[in-house]
Amino acid sequence: MATAGASLIPLADYETFSKHLKKSHRVLALLGAGLSASSGLPTFRGAGGLWRNNEATMLATPEAFEADPVMVWQFYNYRRHMALQAQPNRAHLALAALAKKNPNFITLSQNVDGLSPRAGHPASQLHLLHGSLYDARCTAFYCDYTETDNFNDPIVPALAIPKGGPQPEPSSTDRTGTEAASSLYSALHFQRNNHGELDISNENVPLPYINKEDLPHCPKCKNGLLRPGVVWFGEMLPKDTLAAVDEFIESADKIDLVLVIGTSARVYPAASYVDMAKQKGARIAVINTDRADIPKVQKGMTKRDWFFEGDAGTIVPELLKSVIGEV
């Protein structure tokens, strides 16, 4: 067995993958939320798909923003804050190193957290399918204002993560100790992080009142609300991004390798890219924590392909080490 941290990579798989990677010229990586989970970020998928007892996917729609822009901005400001507190993990660093060594390696990321750019991944080789938490655009119909790489935290003062919480207080009326015990229990169990900030993802933590006028507004037209610069459910994916990946695959006589990391790649367009690459001879390497979470490609995974089960932040650097060295 070849050891990758706490995970064991079967030696035969490790050797065949390393041998193929060394001779691979044209390589595509598809990244999903499982990669960022290795940096401690919530995936908002499956069992972790709730935010304050709301389906996270239900907050990621134009309709949700129109109905309650305050709630949606609180959700996205929380995500921005969490992502800025997180650090790129070793898989982010390893992929960035591979991109710098191989100009014919491109990455399509479904993640919006900015960890790949912060790892030094060359922008020309990194395509963001769902936008970025640090971009915003005006919602006014006649305004075309957009901004990128706004790393202010919070994006406006009103959205600052609240600190503090209830303090244990003696009761002035109850002599049984019941109220005092309840007050102490509430204070001890009020969820805070290491910075004293309240965990507003917990529905039991009250959200501060925010006036709609205190949300991010457009500096150009002065009237329109800014919205997060991410692709919401029901919206078109960025044409330039899709065109770049299409061209990368279609212009090549052969694709050597597809890395599927932290995603099942079962939905459009990731699933179609796996199929397109396999038709051009690509071998597929999946790195995921769930063995059942593999791409559903037309010809299926074969003995030529690999599945590496475990934490991407641990496994990916080990798999790429033969080309990039230690990270």
| Separation CA 278–CA 257 (nearest Å) | 9
- The amino acid present at 2, given as its one-letter code, is A
Question: Which of the residues 81, 92, 127, 130 is marked catalytic?
Answer: 130
Buried b (16+ CB within 10 A) or exposed e, 16-27: ebbeebeebebb
Q: Which two tokens stand for residue 138?
A: 């005006």
Backbone angles phi, psi at 133, to 5 degrees: -65, -20
What's the length of the chain?
A: 327
Packing angle between helix 312-324 and helix 90-101, nearest 10 degrees? 30
Query: What SS3 state is found at 121?
Result: coil
Whose CA is closest to 284, among 1, 294, 35, 121? 294
Q: Is there a cis peptide before residue 154, judged by omega within 30 degrees of 0?
A: yes
List C-alpha distances in Å: 316 to 209, 250, 261. 43, 27, 8
Q: Is there a cis peptide before residue 88, judged by omega within 30 degrees of 0?
A: no
Q: Are 52 and 200 contacting, i.e. CB atoms less than 8 angstroms apart?
A: yes
Backbone angles phi, psi at 47, to 5 degrees: -65, -25
**CA-based R_g, the chain, Å:** 23
Buried b (16+ CB within 10 A) or exposed e, 85-113: ebebbbbbbbbbbbbeebeebbbbbbbbb
Find the helix or strand (DSSP H, E) in which 283 lies.
strand 283-288
Q: Catalytic residue at 130?
A: yes
- The amino acid present at 325, given as its one-letter code, is G
Q: Which residues are catalytic?
A: 130
